Amino acid sequence: MRKNPIVQRETLGAAVLQVRSGRATSRTTLAKALGISPSTTGLYVDHLIAEKYLNESGLNQGPMGRPRRLLSTQAGAGWFAGVEFNAHRIQAVGVDFSGGLKQTVELLLPDEVMADQVTKAILSCVAKLAETMQGPLLSVGLGVPGLVDVQAGVGLYYAFIPDWKQVPLVEIIGSKLKVPVILQNNLRAIALAERWFGIGHSLNDYVILGPRSGFGIAIVQDGRVIEGAHHAAGEVGRWPWPLMGGAGEVKELHHALSAPATWRRLSGVDGRAKLPEDLRAGLAAFSDSKGPVWDAVCTDYARVIGLLHMIIDTGVFILHGPLTMLGERFCQSITDVACALMPALREGGLKVVPSTLGDDAGALGAASQAMEAWAPA
Amino acid sequence: MRKNPIVQRETLGAAVLQVRSGRATSRTTLAKALGISPSTTGLYVDHLIAEKYLNESGLNQGPMGRPRRLLSTQAGAGWFAGVEFNAHRIQAVGVDFSGGLKQTVELLLPDEVMADQVTKAILSCVAKLAETMQGPLLSVGLGVPGLVDVQAGVGLYYAFIPDWKQVPLVEIIGSKLKVPVILQNNLRAIALAERWFGIGHSLNDYVILGPRSGFGIAIVQDGRVIEGAHHAAGEVGRWPWPLMGGAGEVKELHHALSAPATWRRLSGVDGRAKLPEDLRAGLAAFSDSKGPVWDAVCTDYARVIGLLHMIIDTGVFILHGPLTMLGERFCQSITDVACALMPALREGGLKVVPSTLGDDAGALGAASQAMEAWAPA
DNA sequence: GGCTTTTTATTCGAATGCGAAAAAACCCCA
DNA sequence: TGGGGTTTTTTCGCATTCGAATAAAAAGCC
């Protein structure tokens, strides 16, 4: 038997992440992924297997040589909660230790909801998930609307919950649940969801387009989500739009490209009172992808995407939110218009795609955060 | 005497950087800056002193306790070359081991210069610097125009040198000089220059505005210069401008905001044939900061800066190039207009300032790269 | 079946980096 | 002038991590 040194928590957590993501499948590949020596990696893996976090799941014969002893995460070792919310509803997901989505809970919030109601509702969602998830709760991720201070664990400001100012969420939730809690802005959480559950697993640079009740973006560069000096990176909704419009009628990008605004433009119907589900249904049924209104909407999107692309030189734009209902043809139109408007984009390989994740992307992203933050005790 | 372990090259280099930058002044502060233990730091410092890279320069008494034994770099331990060029001229600087600028060389290039003439001229500039710099040449940094592949060490493309395509600069220069050579796009090199020699030493997030023969920006986030997925981050010069202009007259941002274009707009004189020095002189003498043309120019800058600020949420914009001749009032006007156009910016603390570095910022930045890349043999 | 080749995993001695404690160097104050 | 307090630096033993060699496990080949 090998001696069992006191290994480093952080490295253990990183090792589990690599195995869970499938980037490392054996001791040797794990060693490469972690950048530590194979011998040390062996010790860590032994420890993790002894603690029932990992197990060996058969052999994998390469073209030659000793077969790898495949590593996998033990699904029942515990679970992670991911919770995302806005002023109207809370969505929570339970993810097992292998990163598999196991359960979803949704909860509608009353109008004019207050901060402490929200935090209570979050706790009750997690409690409901706990009824069916197996093993102990290991960590909680929160996708928080508005400005968020990730370091401090504080929700700074959100316009649509009246008293949402300086809410010490990590402390509130963490002290009740006794597990690590990690925060992220909800759009940036979606970016992480793409990394774990969507097409981002093979990408290191991409941008999330989030036309929802407003319009914001999240930028992933070199595998990291950009925060900004004041936690406000990607808050492009308040761009003046049209950018150089005639005097007097300057609005903001929000008013042109949010999900309801886009629907209003496309359908000609005032959708202010529309519920989110109706909006989705309407968009899904929308088929008129030829007219001048359609072109105008695509042109606006194309302009924004083009500007972004030339600043941060990222490959892929992933469309999220209700507008994904417009499907592939919407993204294709945007790409075409953008390349027509800005020939330089063609060389850069502009790509706009609809997300394959559904409405719970934010909660999934929050769960991803939880997984990334966790390390064995 | 302490035992002398075989220490890690990388960490030695990092230690020298910390001392040179002044972020670490003693063994203890260095330990904190490097994130290693004080005991290990002692060993590294001993080694560096023994090899004559560092020395102890007196004591520094705090308010109480044992005084720090101040560390400093040995200026004569060797020197770094920084070279920046475009199609018209080469600028080279020699920087001593302490990071002090010691010498500058400028060399004009003939019209229609070819790539191999440029590489030869770079070598001759370095040779000229070598005549007066003391100690061995340790490393060379190159600020290269156009697209650059930093990893591969290759200049990919530059429009104004006809055969500048896939130039393996690191190999060409490195094989002659037998020292490490490191590349960077020249605007991104300027960003590094601000970090070492300008106001960037206290900032972790800022943007360089580079209106020169074209218009580009360089973004520093969390102390790192953004590269982009295709080495093209910040290439905003080809934005359509005006962004939603009337049909037919769509131009690009280059045509509105490059240094010559700005001069043309301000002065009303066609400055196409103007030499760079004349341009600078003209701008320095320009005093009419009231008229509608001035406002129009500032508004264009304000729009660009506003958009950028809301995407990447960075604090400070540093203006570089000939337009710094317009001085503080130009930056102030831009700030004012931007805040008027986009009220959201006021909260974000938008700041636009002219660089204090002169025309050799690019070469200084290249030298900074060289310093960062170097580590003891 | 035994041999070589190839790849993965483990063993084991060596050494590097760490932590705790000691030492050093200075202050202040009686 | 000597003791207590404070901060920096060094000493020293220990333990984790590494590297090289070794073992293990399979394929291919004759």
Q: What does the pLDDT look like over A89-115, one tens digit per residue?
A: 999 999 999 999 999 999 999 999 999
| Beta-ladder partners of A89 | A108
CA of B39 vs C1' of D13, distance in Å? 13
Instruction: Average the pLDDT over B150-161 and give the result.
Output: 94
Label residue A275 by pLDDT band (50, 70, 90).
low
Label residue A272 by pLDDT band (50, 70, 90).
low
Positions on chain C within 7 A of a protein C-beta? 5-12, 15-21, 23-28
Instruction: Average the pLDDT over B92-107 and give the result.
Output: 95
What is the pLDDT, as a whole number, of residue A274?
63
Q: Is A14 helix (H, G, I), strand (E, B) or coil?
A: helix
Kindly state whether residue B4 falls inside one of the protein's structural domains: no
**Cis peptide, bond prior to residue B242, ω within 30 of zero:** yes
Q: Which domain holds residue B147?
A: 77-192+361-373
pLDDT at B1 over 60: no
Nucleotide nearest to A39 (CA to C1'): C10
In this structure, the answer to whether residues A69 and A87 fall within a common structural domain is no
Contacts of B291-299 spanning 24+ positions with Cβ under 8 A: B293/B265, B293/B266, B293/B268, B294/B266, B294/B333, B295/B333, B295/B337, B296/B265, B297/B262, B297/B265, B297/B266, B298/B330, B298/B333, B298/B334, B298/B336, B298/B337, B299/B337, B299/B341
The backbone region for A147, taken as left when phi is positive above 0, alpha when psi lies in -120 to 50, beta otherwise, is beta
In this structure, the answer to whether residues A365 and A252 fall within a common structural domain is no
Residue nearest to nucleotide D16 (CA to C1'): A5
| Contact at CB, B312 and A226, closer than 8 angstroms | yes
Label residue B266 by pLDDT band (50, 70, 90).
confident
Kindly state whether residue A134 falls inside one of the protein's structural domains: yes
pLDDT at A238 over 90: no
Cβ atoms within 10 Å of B328's Cβ, excluding its own: 11
Kindly state whether residue B198 falls inside one of the protein's structural domains: no
Tokens of B313: 């949420």
pLDDT at B273 over 60: no
Label residue B106 by pLDDT band (50, 70, 90).
very high
Answer with the residue of higher pLDDT: B245 or A166. Answer: A166
Label residue B118 by pLDDT band (50, 70, 90).
very high
pLDDT at B271 over 70: no
A-chain residue closest to B308, CA distance: A311
Tokens of B242: 């005006």
Domain count, chain A: 3
Say how far apart CA B191 and CA A261 lie, in whole Å: 39
CA of A70 vs C1' of D29, distance in Å? 28
> Where does a domain end: A73, A97, A118?
A73
- Listed in sequence order, the residues at least 6 apart from B143 whose beta carbon sits closer than 8 Å to its beta carbon are B82, B83, B84, B85, B184, B185, B186, B189, B190, B362, B363, B365, B366, B369
In this structure, the answer to whether residues A231 and A319 fall within a common structural domain is yes
pLDDT at A285 over 80: no
In this structure, the answer to whether residues B217 and B328 fall within a common structural domain is yes
In this structure, the answer to whether residues A253 and A319 fall within a common structural domain is yes
Contacts of A227-231 spanning 24+ positions with Cβ under 8 A: A227/A150, A227/A188, A227/B313, A228/B205, A228/B312, A228/B313, A228/B314, A229/B204, A229/B205, A229/B313, A229/B314, A229/B315, A230/A147, A230/B313, A230/B315, A230/B348, A230/B349, A231/A147, A231/A148, A231/A149, A231/A150, A231/A156, A231/A185, A231/B313
Instruction: Average the pLDDT over A16-31 and give the result.
Output: 96
Instruction: Average the pLDDT over B170-194 and give the result.
Output: 96
CA of B32 vs C1' of C23, distance in Å? 21
What is the pLDDT, as a whole number, of residue A271?
56
Length of chain B in terms of residues written? 377
What is the pLDDT, as a whole number, of residue A263?
85
What is the pLDDT, as a whole number, of residue B244?
63
| Contact at CB, A342 and B243, closer than 8 angstroms | no
- In chain A, pLDDT over 90 holds for what percent of residues? 71
pLDDT at A266 over 90: no
In this structure, the answer to whether residues A277 and A337 fall within a common structural domain is yes
In this structure, the answer to whether residues B41 and B90 fall within a common structural domain is no
Mean pLDDT lowest for which of A291-305, B21-35, B245-259? B245-259
Query: B-chain residues within 8 Å CB-CB of A217?
Result: 311
Chain A residues at the B interface, defined by Cβ less than 8 Å, are 204-205, 217, 219, 221, 226-236, 238-240, 242-245, 303, 306-308, 310-315, 341-344, 348-349
A146-150, A338-342, B211-215: which is most confident: A146-150
Q: Is B37 in contact with B31 (CB distance < 8 Å)?
A: yes
Q: Is the CB of A43 under 7 A from strand D?
A: yes
Say how far apart CA A105 and CA A126 lie, in whole Å: 9
Kindly state whether residue A344 falls inside one of the protein's structural domains: yes
In this structure, the answer to whether residues B60 and B82 fall within a common structural domain is no
In this structure, the answer to whether residues B183 and B300 fall within a common structural domain is no
Kindly state whether residue B2 falls inside one of the protein's structural domains: no
**Nearest residue to A34 via CA among A49, A48, A46, A19:** A19
Kindly state whether residue B199 falls inside one of the protein's structural domains: no
Residues B287-298: tens digit of each pLDDT: 766 778 888 889
Label residue B344 by pLDDT band (50, 70, 90).
confident
Mean pLDDT lowest for which of A245-259, A289-303, B287-301? A245-259
pLDDT at A189 over 70: yes
Say how far apart CA B168 and CA B153 lie, in whole Å: 6
In this structure, the answer to whether residues A367 and A258 fall within a common structural domain is no
What is the pLDDT, as a whole number, of residue B283?
75
In this structure, the answer to whether residues B348 and B229 fall within a common structural domain is yes
Label residue B275 by pLDDT band (50, 70, 90).
low
Mean pLDDT of chain B: 91
Say how far apart CA B314 and CA B336 lie, in whole Å: 17
- In chain A, pLDDT over 70 holds for what percent of residues? 94
What is the pLDDT, as a whole number, of residue A63?
87
Mean pLDDT of chain A: 91
Cβ atoms within 10 Å of A116's Cβ, excluding its own: 11
Query: B-chain residues within 8 Å CB-CB of A243?
Result: 242-244, 303, 307
Label residue A270 by pLDDT band (50, 70, 90).
low
Instruction: Average the pLDDT over A217-236 and give the result.
Output: 92
CATH number for the domain including B285? 3.30.420.40
| Contact at CB, B229 and A310, closer than 8 angstroms | no
Query: B-chain residues within 8 Å CB-CB of A242?
Result: 243-244
Kindly state whether residue A309 falls inside one of the protein's structural domains: yes
Say how far apart CA B65 and CA A174 lie, in whole Å: 40
Label residue B6 by pLDDT band (50, 70, 90).
confident
Instruction: Average the pLDDT over A256-275 and give the result.
Output: 77
In this structure, the answer to whether residues A97 and A188 fall within a common structural domain is yes
Instruction: Average the pLDDT over B54-64 and give the result.
Output: 92
What is the pLDDT, as a whole number, of residue B280?
79
Label residue A248 by pLDDT band (50, 70, 90).
low
Kindly state whether residue A311 falls inside one of the protein's structural domains: yes
CATH number for the domain including B33? 1.10.10.10
What is the pLDDT, as a whole number, of residue B311?
93
Cβ burial, residue A146 (10 Å; 0-12/13-18/19+): buried
Residues A52-68: tens digit of each pLDDT: 999 999 999 988 999 99
What is the pLDDT, as a whole number, of residue B242?
75
Residues B232-244: tens digit of each pLDDT: 999 998 888 876 6
**Cis peptide, bond prior to residue A242, ω within 30 of zero:** yes
